[in-house]
Amino acid sequence: MGFFVFVLALISVALTYNVLRPQYHHPKGIVFSFLAGWLAGELALHVIAVQVFLVFLCALLGGIKGFWGALGLLLFIGSWLTLSYHYFSGYKVKVLMDSIVAPHRDEADAANWGRHGEVDVSRLLRPFSDFKDDQIELIKDVVFDKVNGLELKLDIRRNLGCPENAPVLMQIHGGAWTHGYGSKNEQGVPLMVEMAKRGWVCVAISYRLSPAYTFPDPIIDCKKALVWIKEHIAEYGGDPEFIVVTGGSAGGHLSSLLALTPNLPEFQPGFEDRDTEVQGCVPFYGIYDLLDTHKLQVSPGLEIFLRKKVIRKTRAEAEDLYRLLSPITHVSEQAPPFLMIHGDKDSLTSLGEAQYFASELDKVSKQSVEFAEIAGAQHAFDLFASLRSDYVKLGIAERLEQWHRDAKPADSE
């Protein structure tokens, strides 16, 4: 029994090590490393609680006695302390997000400024509680387009007391642009619920996915969804003149591409005359240069996915298409405000590429370009409540409110 406890302790140590030092380079290993690091890192308190319970049971059975049992217990304790430190280092994110939000605060923000500092402890204990909130009305599966018999749908979240002419948040889900890896149902929920509580109307969209469909189908669908929002969101209390787009991973790529290509004919076949401008963009851990021009991508998985499933051609075979589909190709002074989010432990998308994209956009854009490097965050860290993700969520919410406030004078002239 003592040796069994020791083996369990080694597994705990390995999980903790992976949180701190994820795998970046092995095509298959990075997937397991991401999944294990993502869940163990953001659900650290729950992981520790389960392990403590297991050790307690082993102790009742006499498994802590002897050399191996004692060594296993010491390893468990070291693992728990390290994982706890990692989790509570999420407090650093509050300082980071404050540094982004505070310079733009005016006197009108002062009364609500404390809201940013509030993290609901009960949410940390129930990390998936946002998926059902009695304050929020969820309108499911509204059809916004039909393509060859396929219905493309969107979900709308709004406060039950939502005012008219409310700002709009458009959420584009990630999942490697591929069927079975993600959908509008489970991504971006904490941020959408937060913004709905603040009086925003939030719209989560779907789009055609690989391998049944290839680019540029996904971005065309996102543009069509945006056109539907502009034409119909007033029926749900939203303001079609103020829309911010967000999304993570593949959704980070698509949201950035959408924001930087308003009215681009190549992405609007048959509806070239429709307006597809947005008023802001918040991409999470996105992909910004599909050609990987500066060799900043650390994971080989991206190139494999693009070649085999998403574009179905190599970079050499379709260089112009890869370039057209890269947000970095479209940086310009007309870009809307950007707030980019990326974790420094992300093993699926490149922090360096995101930083480079932000710097290139910042050089030319007339609007604000802000970058939040989230210490300790894996890919998809924001999908449910944790100390780290909640501080990021609240900081973004404050910044979106500021964008909306700053746009009001121009809208009223």
Residue of 12, 210, 249, 365 with catalytic role: 249
Residue of 379, 386, 390, 404 with catalytic role: 379
Q: Is 346 a catalytic residue?
A: yes
Nearest to 245 by CA among 293, 205, 274, 292: 205
Q: Is 249 a catalytic residue?
A: yes
Inter-CA distances, 153 with 41, 252, 262, 396, Å:
33, 19, 22, 26
The rounded distance, in Å, linking the Cα atoms of 97 and 396 is 8
Residue of 239, 289, 346, 390 with catalytic role: 346
Q: In what order do the strands lie in the sheet with 136-147?
A: 136-147, 150-159, 201-205, 166-172, 238-248, 280-284, 338-343, 369-374
Nearest to 27 by CA among 307, 339, 376: 307
Residues tagged active-site: 249, 346, 379
